[in-house]
């Protein structure tokens, strides 16, 4: 107990034994000495009793003992009498403010602040004609974790979800815990495609964070997206759209989990490239809950079919977006998330120690990125770059060149995978 707390508790006990007139006279001087407020003697006892009652109320609400000074400041401020707050416990008051707006378990903002923030951002989106996306999230099979592993392990899953959301968002974005295993994101100046891409990326990162917990239940993060103005211009309508899409996502997820797993494709001979059938089977398989290990070194490209000459690197035009089934690239490791086109955005990459210092980002996926920049010889095998794309903060990456396509006499497109 702090000295001030002990002093006020002793004062409370002492005043109970005084005559009413003496108590009123003392309290009138006491309030004046603390806050420079002149309270008449016939009102001083009532103010004192109100402070004690407020202290009890605040302590029950915050589930911890609130100091007498905090309750006194709260009562005098509400009555409009406080002019010189000389008894304010700043740290304790800030703690009360944090408890009022944040979820105590995850540290995310709570449902009440979600409603206030959504109204504010929706008004701003209307005023400046900007898109605004709402993402509703919840944890698939979370109840099973609590039932089988206990609530402490369930709390660790909620902590992992909150950590994932905080890492994925920009400064202008907001994350909230709106219920037991329910979360929400408010994404200003974000359209539906960008919000969906971010939601898929969050699901992948969340699954990786769960790896160290060694759960026997595959927990995932389902999502539903609603965007202003396409899905509505009122808060209730957008929330309803996001909840409905989350519902459909969750039930399609549940149906997929109950279907029989496809037969495992036969392993290709050692050193041979994977077949398209193997790739299709791998792509159809549900994602694993455990973290995916880093991909092995890429196999050597297959020999060209008879009658077709081997193309040079700058002419090897495997398109970034295959348009026909027979032109699709065969990958040794299935992608964790689809690529998202950056067409129509100002996404770019700043390259370190290269003749071309800036390149346009064509598309972006979990495992790599495609870049357009002026054609030049002797392109290195690895590149250092800082990516600047919508939704994400600037991120420094190591890139490995995978393929090159010549677009015109002075432009080339390079497909890269992330090394780190």
Domains in the chain (CATH in brackets) are 3-101 (no CATH), 111-254 (3.30.70.270), 338-420 (2.40.10.220)
Reply yes or no on whether the pLDDT at 281 is more than 70.
Answer: no
pLDDT at 302: 46
Mean pLDDT estimate for the chain: 76
pLDDT at 93: 59
In contact, 186 and 134? CB cutoff 8 Å: yes
The count of C-alpha atoms lying within 13 angstroms of the C-alpha of 178, restricted to the half-sphere facing its C-beta, is: 20
pLDDT at 338: 65
What's the average model confidence in pLDDT over 31-42? 76
Higher pLDDT, residue 24 or 291: 24
Dist CA 55 CA 12 (whole Å): 12
Check the CA dihedral 147-152-153-155 and report its sign: positive
pLDDT at 343: 78
pLDDT at 227: 95
pLDDT at 33: 75
What's the average model confidence in pLDDT over 337-352? 79
Dist CA 387 CA 393 (whole Å): 8
Which one of 121-130, 209-218, 371-380 scores highest in mean pLDDT? 121-130
Reply yes or no on whether the pLDDT at 300 is more than 50.
Answer: no
Is 0.75 topped by the overall pTM? Answer: no
What's the average model confidence in pLDDT over 299-320? 40
Reply yes or no on whether the pLDDT at 129 is more than 60.
Answer: yes
Dist CA 397 CA 48 (whole Å): 62
pLDDT at 282: 46
What is the crossing angle of helices 20-35 and 68-78, to 10°?
80
What's the average model confidence in pLDDT over 328-343? 57
Strand order in the sheet with 132-140: 174-177, 182-188, 132-140, 220-228
Alpha helices in 174-275 (DSSP H): 192-209, 235-258
pLDDT at 396: 86
What length is written for the chain?
A: 420
What's the average model confidence in pLDDT over 268-285? 45
Q: Which two structure tokens, joined as six digits, stand for 363?
A: 């598309």
What's the average model confidence in pLDDT over 29-48? 79
- Lowest-confidence pick of 16-30, 239-253, 321-335: 321-335
**Cα separations in angstroms, 73 against 48, 53, 69:** 12, 13, 6
DSSP structure class, residue 102: B
In contact, 65 and 95? CB cutoff 8 Å: no
pLDDT at 125: 94
pLDDT at 41: 81
pLDDT at 261: 47
Reply yes or no on whether the pLDDT at 32 is more than 50.
Answer: yes
pLDDT band of residue 189 (cuts 50, 70, 90) is very high
Higher pLDDT, residue 346 or 226: 226
What's the average model confidence in pLDDT over 302-329? 39
């Amino acid at each position: 107990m702090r000295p001030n707390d002990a002093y006020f508790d002793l004062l409370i006990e002492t005043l109970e034994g005084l005559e009413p007139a003496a108590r009123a006279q003392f309290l009138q001087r006491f309030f004046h000495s603390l806050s420079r407020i002149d309270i008449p003697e016939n009102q001083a006892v009532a103010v004192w009793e109100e402070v004690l009652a407020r202290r009890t109320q605040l302590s029950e609400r915050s589930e911890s003992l609130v100091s007498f000074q905090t309750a006194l400041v709260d009562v005098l401020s509400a009555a409009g009498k406080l002019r010189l707050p000389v008894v304010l416990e700043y740290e304790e008051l800030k703690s009360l403010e944090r408890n009022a707006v944040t979820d105590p378990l995850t540290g995310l903002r709570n449902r009440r602040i979600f409603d206030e923030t959504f109204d504010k951002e929706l008004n701003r989106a209307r005023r400046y004609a900007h898109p605004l996306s709402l993402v509703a999230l919840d944890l698939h099979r979370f109840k099973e974790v609590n039932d089988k592993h206990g609530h402490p392990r369930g709390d660790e899953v909620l902590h992992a979800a909150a950590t994932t959301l905080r890492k994925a968002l920009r400064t202008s974005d907001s994350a909230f815990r709106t219920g037991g295993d329910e979360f929400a994101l408010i994404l200003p100046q974000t359209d539906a495609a960008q919000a969906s891409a971010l939601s898929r990326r969050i699901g992948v990162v969340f699954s990786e964070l769960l790896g160290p917990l060694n759960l026997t239940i595959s927990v995932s993060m389902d999502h539903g997206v609603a965007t202003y103005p396409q899905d509505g211009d009122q808060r209730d309508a957008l929330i309803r759209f996001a909840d409905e899409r989350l519902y459909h996502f969750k039930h399609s997820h549940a149906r997929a989990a109950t279907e029989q797993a496809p037969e495992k494709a036969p392993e290709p001979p050692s050193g041979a490239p994977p077949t398209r059938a193997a790739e299709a089977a791998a792509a159809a398989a549900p994602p694993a809950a455990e973290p995916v290990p880093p991909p092995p070194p890429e196999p050597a490209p297959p020999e060209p079919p008879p009658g077709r000459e081997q193309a040079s690197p700058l002419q090897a035009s495997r398109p970034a977006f295959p348009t026909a089934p027979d032109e699709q690239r065969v990958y040794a490791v299935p992608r964790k998330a689809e690529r998202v086109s950056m067409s129509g955005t100002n996404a770019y990459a700043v390259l370190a120690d290269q003749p071309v210092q800036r390149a346009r980002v064509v598309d972006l996926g979990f495992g790599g990125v495609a870049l357009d920049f002026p054609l030049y010889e002797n392109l290195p095998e690895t590149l250092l770059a800082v990516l600047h794309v919508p939704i994400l903060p600037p991120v420094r990456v190591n890139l490995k060149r995978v393929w090159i396509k010549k677009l015109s006499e002075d432009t080339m497109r390079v497909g890269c995978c992330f090394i780190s």
